Amino acid sequence: MALKATVFKVQLQIADMDRNYYQDHSLTLAQHPSENDERMMVRLLAFIINASESLSFTKGLSAEEDQAELWDCDLTGNINLWVEFGQSDEKWLRKACGRARQVQLFCYGGRSVPVWWKNIEPALQRYQNLQVTEIPETAVKEMASLVNRTMQLQCNISEGQIWLSDASQSVLIEPVVLKAVQ
């Protein structure tokens, strides 16, 4: 019998001073059986960084191969933003860059990220609509400590620093941009 996804309910208040975006979101996150808390929270962080009324999660790890896990599509079906996670290969990112106006890759994994980046960086430089951002390992672990089946989180973003908090603790996240959109 196949394992089912675990469902998390998130009440999220975002105050993004960098983008002048202030909004509350009620989210339902489905955590695939093979997904750990750290990866789920990186997905939530990507939502926070790009939050808009049209940004949405897809079926995630269970999705068809031609879908991002998180994307922003306009009313005509054009993909404005395609978001990927982990240490993707160049072939997959090439496909995403060809389909979307902008692609973001959020990589995490501690010491393995610099090794992966050193090997793939030359191949990714040609994609002008691609941004690669590393989430530091300590921040990923601290974000995972916020995980509960029902979460009430507040997020403040200012000058590139992200504070994610619940009623009992706050986590500082300072993403590192490895490659910016050109």
Q: Where do the domains of the chain lie?
A: 6-179
User: Which parts of the chain fold into alpha helices (H)?
Assistant: 37-50, 90-99, 112-124, 137-144
Res 121: pLDDT: 97
Q: What is the DSSP letter of 63?
A: S
Res 1: pLDDT: 54
Q: Read off the tokens for 170.
A: 């706050």
Res 58: pLDDT: 84
Res 64: pLDDT: 54
Res 2: pLDDT: 63
CA 136 – CA 171 distance, rounded (Å): 12
The pairing of strands 6-16 and 55-57 is unpaired
Handedness of CA 125, 127, 128, 129 (dihedral sign): negative
Q: Model's pTM, two decimal places? A: 0.93
Mean pLDDT by 10 residues, the chain (182 residues): 84 98 96 93 98 87 69 93 95 95 96 96 97 98 97 97 97 98 91
Res 65: pLDDT: 61
* Domain 6-179 coded CATH 3.30.565.10: no
